[in-house]
């Protein structure tokens, strides 16, 4: 299968495999990349999306109940996250932003680990090396450079693992993201820039960041790009598999813009009623990634009432365990505030810790 | 008029926009949303998108563009959404905003105000609770100020915008909802002046921004124990009004400085060192510092330990008074 | 005359009006933009280039003699600088890097003011508002944002002045330059990004920074761009006039890549023998901007021996005055080190100045 | 073996590249050119372009890429061409390099060395003579060191590279051409330790990097006048080896700290404040600071005034000894 892409933006229109109504659309470039998917695998993608939406809804509820400090919903972006994450191997490495909880789930992050950061018990929920995925990056765009450096390392090591940077439409304005493209092109790094264009950076519409489709930016840096319907899990997977194959076989970086919509608030602290046009929101609701895939699978006869009931039960079970895991997270011990600042002893900090320990002893921990 | 600190800044911004057509507001989400803390609420509606401009998501771009606008005679007021997001703009601030007036022998002025909600105590995720003021106070060419109450918030933001020098304006985000009387016409102190907020005679306690309220509480608690603690609200961090601090220490002979920022190389070190230089012979004890620990800002469930509180301040007061305290008998 | 440019790179090849041998090449897009140039104006462009080269050579000599701390030669880039600078009006504003001494000369900067920075007597040679040009920016790329902000200000003011950012090929890797394009496109700022691609960033060839021609980068940001022979003063002027006209008439930003070659060292401190291929250097020597224009003007009968002698005499005279101006620059007074840090009094610094003044009094200035 | 300081770093880099295949060098112009100061001279030739990599012109990109390489198990050594060009990378250094180990609870190490030629005295243009060390010393999670002689330069760069924490390695550029004996096998002091370079009993003079040589000269001059000045080369700026400084001050009772960096909020303040806290009762006078002025680094023709020299150090020695000095009788 060819991995050569034209230097310029691959697709001028948003590429689809499924129409918003769930009809199969012919796509000569993408079709081969998903031709091998078995009915079970298709169903797995569906289950992933349903479960992730359930986790996301539950997390929002937990935040409303005061159990989480904050939560960044991914509602509406399930296909973009599942389709891309499920294209990866376990030896690949993901550098996410803060919204990739769906990706994290697919990488095998434990349920309670998804919320440590948002409950405020830790700054990271998991060990990145256990799951091949860094923990949330909050500084917009910074992780795109990390992914590039990691990919350069893979190339040095002579392995065919790849790195993926996830980021949003707003992030494309940050200098770091452009620099990442410069470095990735310069060193032909096996990295995929996966941009979820969910139309918003908090209250700012994508039009403030870019006057041209975001996918058009990469070719000028020497990086081929694709623009894909981010609510079409198969199209996303096809694009991602194509890009990954290029990276594994020495083809260098690829940029993917997954066009989607943030159906929830930016975070649970946000109030989109101040800036969002409900008409446009309603239009996007009609393009829901899960409903679309449901229609497709039903058409294939894969989604009878039995299956649907099983999936719902699975999702409920995950939600229950997720909630229990969250509520069971212990508060960290006071003196751990001094841990892991350095990997080796640091006289100043050691003294400070010793003094605070004396303080706690005197006044009671 | 009784206002929250956030609303007091909002009204200060409104007055500045009204008074001077060269004032423009730049920032992420400051328009329709009114900023994530609503500090710019309603201003774009009132003054239009040419005066209150939502910016692309790039802090270096925002400050760099402000520099260009200043070259053109504008007086930009930039909002950095949270303390931890100022670093991408560090180069433009330190190498351009701070230096251009000096570089051009006074030909080019940089009357840029950079508003930064800062500090912890709101249970936030990483990068949303930092206190980076020392970086900027150490940078020649910048002025650095911070407010602790609604009246100062209102007056000082207007003074900062009117100032012909660049000003870093640090807003104590956990005090945004503090309410207080605001008189828009009041203009008692110059921007660079500190204020004695609680007079006292035994110990001088210097605080600024979010910790002024805590220091005042500590002074009240001390006074219950028969101690007279003088609390100074520094307000300006560059320059520091050492005259006011020195006068107090000459009287008390004992100094405690507190801030949320990390201790090593923080403002507390400068205040301790400068006051020691200026009135060594008046000091009865070494100045003590009560600060955040020298760790990155920790997760929310640990921030109560990181943040200086009333008890840690009182412990330091005991220390400079030579009373029993947590370090009595402590050995490294 | 139309100011509409296609969104994508305007010219795939490097656009010329003069061949390297000085023959007139037809160029349908560019020709109209220089059709009005009179013989006198053509000659003026020539004199500018000759004088600037003379100044540049003199400055290198002054550095070798210890009279300047450093000098960044612009040898080879005379056409790029003169062609672009002479397209501007006095109410336009230039934000240069450190190498734009030719541009500065064209903007009317006094001869001795060109070297204050390089002699170390001041951090700026001139008052930017006197000549419509900021003083050298050494932090690579930072000035592109200043130009963008200035241009946004022009638009706010309702005037048709424009801003120009000068920068090099290496600068295009800096995040600030990409951010400047984002902002310029977003606000449709009347700014021209003028990139002198002189093939080198100190020792690094342009290929390390970019795998595609630099002019291709702008269109992805929504900014039309042109690639022009930077050693062809007429082509540069045509491109610049076209871009300026777009900016003045509300057409927004334009990006120009002037393809040229750095014929000297990066600065007088540099040693290109460590990294430069002399063969390629020799190829570029054959495309010299002054010789080319000389041939063209001679062909037009504008450059007889008399004229040449006058031009040489002018250049000699400028060089003499330049040298005298340089040597006559006074050292700054010690206490001026404290001046202009702030525009308004600063208690800490005032005290420090007073203490150092006491120190100087005690130990003798 | 007698080497210049620059060559001593070069040989340290070579040994590190030799000893550990995970070490990679990243920077602008470090390959064919060997760096603008030739510190990496010959290394790309010897180790190839995969170990010694010229980087695109973007400091944030360089450090961000180093972070990714560290994730992958590499030990990147980044060169920032001059002090004044580190600010575009400030965000990656402060928000990523410094915090990742803490953020991940120790799972991800950042053994990144960032080499920065720093300081003035070479008659350079703007941004080429700065001393930004205090910004980094104030940043939790970073280690900051600086060398003053060829032997330390060689040993310390190897220790920094071998260290599992991120290290800012400041190289005193005006001392690059200082020559001295270098023994590659010598490894006497740990990276965090200070060194007494001139023993003395009357005054403690603390210096680091480029000013150690000046301080030693000052001590010699003082000794001609019958004074015994103890000079300490700090070497490590985070952490500071306060034990060594404290021991000295307990003996002398008098402290002078000197650095090129601006004074306000500089390292001198921290050292003065910490030493005052630790041995207030031993101090005979307030610690004095001899530093660059609080102005942006000035044009070359003024740098001799900006830079602390022997005379200004001796003046401060006189001040802490209570002798006649430039501030005798001075009033604000
Ligand atoms: C450097 C930086 N500046 C500002 C912010 C505040 N902020 C958090 S998310 C966000 C919007 C991001 O938009 P986008 O990249 O489109 O991602 P999305 O949130 O839509 O997934 C902003 C401005 C930040 N986290 N980091
Ligand atoms: C932020 C920053 N990093 C590094 C440097 C050091 N430096 C000075 S000029 C230069 C190369 C610039 O190349 P280019 O942009 O092509 O301009 P040219 O010198 O060729 O005119 C470098 C790396 C700098 N001045 N600023
Ligand atoms: Mg978005
Ligand atoms: Mg160049």
Q: What pLDDT is stored for residue C231 in this prediction?
A: 98
Distance CA B294, CA A359 (A): 16
Ligand closest in space to the Cα of B35: 1
Q: Is the CB of A159 under 6 A from ligand 1?
A: no
| Cα-based torsion angle of the residue sequence C121, C123, C127, C132 in order, rounded to the nearest 10 degrees | 130
Contacts (Cβ under 8 Å, ≥6 apart) of C71: C59, C60, C62, C63, C115, C118, C267, C268
Least confident segment among B257-261, C305-309, D99-103, D319-323: C305-309
Strand-by-strand arrangement of the D255-262 sheet = D195-198, D229-233, D203-207, D255-262, D288-292
Is the distance from CB of B229 to CB of B218 less than 8 angstroms? yes
Q: Inter-chain contact A359–B33, Cβ cutoff 8 Å?
A: no
From chain D, the residues in CB contact with A153 under 8 A are 68-69, 71-74
pLDDT at D331 over 90: no
Q: Is the CB of D85 under 6 A from ligand 2?
A: yes
pLDDT at D204 over 80: yes
Q: Tokens 């330390």 — which residue?
A: D152
pLDDT at B246 over 60: yes
Q: What pLDDT is stored for residue B79 in this prediction?
A: 98
Q: Inter-chain contact A186–C209, Cβ cutoff 8 Å?
A: yes
Q: Inter-chain contact C179–A182, Cβ cutoff 8 Å?
A: no
D3 Cα to chain B: minimum distance (Å):
34
Distance C205 CA to ligand 4 centre (A): 8
For residue C360, the chain D residue with the least C-alpha distance is D326
Active site residues of B: 128
Tell me the per-residue pLDDT of B199-238, one tens digit each, with 9 for 90 and over: 999 999 999 999 999 999 999 999 999 999 999 999 999 9
Q: Tell me the residues of A at the C interface, defined by beta carbons under 8 Å apart.
A: 7, 172-176, 178-179, 182, 185-186, 208-212, 216-222
b/e per residue D271-283 (b: at least 16 CB within 10 A): bbbbbbbbbeebb
Tell me which chains share at least 3 CB pairs under 8 Å with chain D.
A, B, C
Secondary structure (DSSP) of C37-79 = --HHHHHHHHHHHHHHHHHHHHHHHHHHTTS-S-----TT-HH
From chain D, the residues in CB contact with B138 under 8 A are 134-135, 138, 262, 264-266
Q: Inter-chain contact D125–C119, Cβ cutoff 8 Å?
A: no
Q: Is the CB of C136 under 6 A from ligand 2?
A: no
For residue D138, the chain B residue with the least C-alpha distance is B265
Distance A140 CA to ligand 4 centre (A): 30
Q: Which of D80, D87, D295 best tests the C interface by mutation, with the highest count of C CBs <10 A?
A: D295
Q: Which of C116, C221, C340 best tests the B interface by mutation, with the highest count of B CBs <10 A?
A: C340
Whether C363 contacts chain B with CB within 8 A = no
Q: What pLDDT is stored for residue A1 in this prediction?
A: 37
Whether D74 contacts chain A with CB within 8 A = yes
Contacts (Cβ under 8 Å, ≥6 apart) of C162: C88, C92, C93, C151, C154, C190, C191, C192, C244, C247, C248
**CA nearest to B240, candidates D294, D269, C348:** C348
Distance CA B311, CA B323 (A): 14
Is the distance from CB of C165 to CB of C134 less than 8 angstroms? no
Q: What pLDDT is stored for residue D169 in this prediction?
A: 99
Q: Is the CB of A202 under 6 A from ligand 1?
A: yes
ipTM: 0.98
Q: Ligand 1 atom 12: the closest Cα is on which residue?
A: A201
Q: What pLDDT is stored for residue C2 in this prediction?
A: 36
Q: What pLDDT is stored for residue C1 in this prediction?
A: 37
pLDDT at D313 over 50: yes
> What are the pLDDT tens digits along chain C (365 aa)?
334 555 445 555 788 999 999 999 999 999 999 999 999 999 999 999 999 999 999 999 999 999 999 999 999 999 999 999 999 999 999 999 999 999 999 999 999 999 999 999 999 999 999 999 999 999 999 999 999 999 999 999 999 999 999 999 999 999 999 999 999 999 999 999 999 999 999 999 999 999 999 999 999 999 999 999 999 999 999 999 999 999 999 999 999 999 999 999 999 999 999 999 999 999 999 999 999 999 999 999 999 999 999 999 999 999 999 999 999 999 999 999 999 999 999 999 999 999 999 999 998 75
Whether D302 contacts chain C with CB within 8 A = yes
Q: What pLDDT is stored for residue A351 in this prediction?
A: 98
Work out the pLDDT band at D188, boundaries 50, 70, 90. confident
Q: HSE (CB half, 13 Å, CA atoms) of A160?
A: 11
Q: Inter-chain contact D33–C275, Cβ cutoff 8 Å?
A: yes
> What single-letter DSSP state applies at residue B97?
I
Q: What pLDDT is stored for residue C363 in this prediction?
A: 87
Active site residues of A: 262, 266, 275
Q: Which of A147, A149, A340 is opposite residue D101, by nearest beta carbon?
A: A340
Q: Is the CB of B282 under 6 A from ligand 1?
A: no
Ligand 2 atom having least distance to the Cα of C206: 16
Would you say the C-alpha torsion B18, B21, B23, B25 has a positive or negative sign?
positive
Q: What pLDDT is stored for residue D332 in this prediction?
A: 79
Q: What pLDDT is stored for residue C364 in this prediction?
A: 74
For residue D329, the chain C residue with the least C-alpha distance is C358
Q: Inter-chain contact C175–D61, Cβ cutoff 8 Å?
A: yes
Q: Inter-chain contact D105–A139, Cβ cutoff 8 Å?
A: no
Q: Is the CB of B57 under 6 A from ligand 1?
A: yes
Whether C349 contacts chain D with CB within 8 A = yes
Q: Residue C270: helix, strand or coil by DSSP?
A: coil
Q: What pLDDT is stored for residue B69 in this prediction?
A: 99
Decide if D259 is catalytic: no
Q: What pLDDT is stored for residue C5 in this prediction?
A: 57
Tell me the per-residue pLDDT of A103-115, one tens digit each, with 9 for 90 and over: 999 999 999 999 9
**Best of B58, B81, B124, B125 for a ligand 1 pocket test (most atoms within 8 Å of beta carbon):** B81
Token representation of residue A172: 């494309």
From chain D, the residues in CB contact with B288 under 8 A are 277
From chain A, the residues in CB contact with B325 under 8 A are 362
Q: Residue B172: helix, strand or coil by DSSP?
A: strand
Q: Is the CB of C287 under 6 A from ligand 2?
A: no
B29 Cα to chain D: minimum distance (Å):
21
Ligand 1 atom having least distance to the Cα of A140: 26
Q: Inter-chain contact C175–D263, Cβ cutoff 8 Å?
A: no
Q: Inter-chain contact A146–D55, Cβ cutoff 8 Å?
A: no
Strand D2-4 relative to strand D179-181, pairing: antiparallel
Would you say the C-alpha torsion D300, D306, D312, D313 has a positive or negative sign?
negative
Q: What pLDDT is stored for residue D58 in this prediction?
A: 98
Is the distance from CB of C270 to CB of C299 less than 8 angstroms? no
Distance CA C104, CA C116 (A): 13
Q: Inter-chain contact A139–D95, Cβ cutoff 8 Å?
A: yes
From chain D, the residues in CB contact with B287 under 8 A are 273, 276-277
Q: Is the CB of B81 under 6 A from ligand 1?
A: yes
Tell me the per-residue pLDDT of D236-294, one tens digit each, with 9 for 90 and over: 999 999 999 999 999 999 999 999 999 999 999 999 999 999 999 999 999 999 999 99
Q: What pLDDT is stored for residue C4 in this prediction?
A: 56
Q: Is the CB of A208 under 6 A from ligand 1?
A: no
Distance from chain centroid for Cα C21: 24
Q: What pLDDT is stored for residue A203 in this prediction?
A: 98
Give the pLDDT mean for A85-107: 98
| Cα-based torsion angle of the residue sequence C115, C120, C122, C125 in order, rounded to the nearest 10 degrees | 10
Is the distance from CB of A80 to CB of A260 less than 8 angstroms? yes
Contacts (Cβ under 8 Å, ≥6 apart) of A364: none
Q: What pLDDT is stored for residue A363 in this prediction?
A: 87
Whether B82 contacts chain A with CB within 8 A = no
Q: Inter-chain contact D67–A149, Cβ cutoff 8 Å?
A: yes
pLDDT at A9 over 60: no
Q: Which of D298, D310, D313, D328 best tests the C interface by mutation, with the highest count of C CBs <10 A?
A: D298
Q: Tokens 């140039």 — which residue?
A: C37
How many other CB atoms are there within 10 angstroms of residue B173's CB atom? 26
Q: Which of A127, A143, A148, A152 best tests the D interface by mutation, with the highest count of D CBs <10 A?
A: A152
From chain C, the residues in CB contact with D34 under 8 A are 274
As a whole number, the mean pLDDT across chain A is: 95
Q: Ligand 2 atom 20: the closest Cα is on which residue?
A: C201
Active-site residue (options: D128, D138, D154, D305): D128
């Amino acid at each position: 299968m060819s991995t050569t892409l034209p230097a310029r933006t691959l697709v001028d229109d948003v590429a689809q495999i499924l129409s918003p109504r769930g009809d199969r659309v012919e796509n000569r470039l993408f079709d081969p990349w998903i031709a091998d998917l078995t009915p079970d695998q298709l169903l797995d993608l569906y289950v992933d999306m349903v479960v992730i939406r359930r986790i996301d809804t539950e997390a929002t509820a937990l935040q409303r109940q005061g159990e989480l400090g904050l939560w960044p919903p991914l509602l509406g972006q399930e296909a973009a996250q599942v389709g891309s994450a499920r294209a990866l191997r376990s030896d690949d490495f993901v550098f996410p932003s803060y919204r990739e909880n769906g990706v994290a789930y697919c990488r095998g992050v434990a349920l309670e680990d998804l919320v440590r950061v948002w409950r405020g018990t830790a700054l990271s929920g998991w060990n990145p090396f256990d799951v091949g995925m860094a923990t949330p990056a909050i500084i917009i765009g910074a992780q795109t450079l990390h992914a590039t450096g990691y990919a350069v390392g893979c190339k040095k090591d002579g392995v065919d693992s790849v790195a993926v940077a996830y980021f949003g439409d707003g992030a494309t304005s940050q200098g770091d993201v452009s620099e990442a493209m410069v470095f990735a092109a310069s060193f032909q790094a096996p990295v995929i820039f996966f941009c979820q264009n969910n139309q918003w950076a908090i209250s700012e519409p994508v039009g403030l960041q870019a006057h041209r489709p975001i996918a058009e930016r990469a070719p000028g840096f020497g990086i081929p790009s694709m623009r894909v319907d981010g609510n079409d899990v198969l199209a996303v997977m096809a694009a991602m598999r194509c890009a990954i194959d290029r990276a594994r076989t020495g083809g260098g970086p690829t940029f993917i813009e997954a066009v989607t919509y943030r159906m929830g608030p930016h975070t649970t602290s946000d109030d989109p009623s101040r800036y969002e046009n409900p008409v446009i929101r309603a239009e996007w609701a009609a393009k829901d990634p899960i409903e679309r895939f449901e229609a497709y699978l039903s058409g294939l006869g894969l989604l009878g009432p039995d299956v649907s009931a099983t999936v719902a039960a699975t999702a409920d079970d995950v939600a229950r365990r997720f909630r229990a895991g969250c509520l069971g997270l212990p508060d960290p011990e006071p003196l751990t505030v001094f841990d892991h600042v350095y990997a080796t002893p640091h006289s100043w900090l050691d003294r400070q810790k010793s003094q605070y320990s004396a303080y706690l002893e005197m006044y009671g921990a | 008029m009784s206002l929250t600190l956030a609303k007091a800044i909002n009204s200060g911004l409104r007055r500045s926009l009204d008074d001077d057509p060269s004032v423009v507001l730049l920032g992420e989400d400051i328009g329709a949303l009114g900023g994530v803390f609503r500090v710019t609420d309603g201003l774009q509606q009132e003054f239009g998108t040419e005066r209150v401009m939502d910016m692309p998501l790039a802090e270096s771009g925002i400050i760099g563009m402000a520099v260009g606008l200043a070259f053109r005679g504008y007086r930009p007021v930039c909002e950095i959404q949270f303390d931890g997001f100022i670093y991408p703009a560090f180069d433009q601030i330190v190498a351009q905003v701070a230096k251009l007036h000096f570089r051009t022998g006074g030909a080019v002025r940089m009357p840029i105000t950079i508003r930064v909600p800062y500090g912890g105590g709101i249970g936030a995720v990483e990068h949303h609770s930092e206190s980076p003021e020392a970086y900027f106070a150490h940078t020649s060419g910048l002025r650095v100020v911070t407010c602790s109450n609604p009246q100062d918030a209102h007056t000082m933001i207007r003074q900062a915008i009117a100032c012909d020098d660049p000003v870093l304006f640090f807003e104590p985000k956990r005090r945004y909802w503090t309410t207080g009387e605001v008189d828009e016409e009041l203009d008692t102190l110059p921007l660079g002046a500190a204020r004695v907020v609680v007079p006292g005679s035994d110990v001088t306690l210097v605080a600024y921004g979010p910790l002024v309220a805590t220091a005042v509480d500590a002074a009240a608690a001390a006074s219950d124990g028969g101690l007279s603690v003088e609390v100074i609200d520094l307000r300006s961090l560059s320059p520091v009004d050492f005259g006011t601090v020195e006068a107090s220490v000459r009287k008390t002979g004992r100094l405690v400085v507190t801030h949320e920022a990390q201790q090593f190389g923080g403002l507390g070190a400068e205040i301790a060192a400068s006051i020691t230089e200026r009135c060594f012979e008046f000091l009865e004890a070494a100045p003590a510092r009560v600060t955040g620990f020298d760790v990155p800002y920790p997760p929310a469930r640990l921030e109560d330990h990181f943040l200086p509180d009333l008890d840690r301040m009182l412990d330091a007061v005991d220390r400079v008074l030579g009373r029993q305290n947590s370090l009595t008998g402590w050995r490294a």
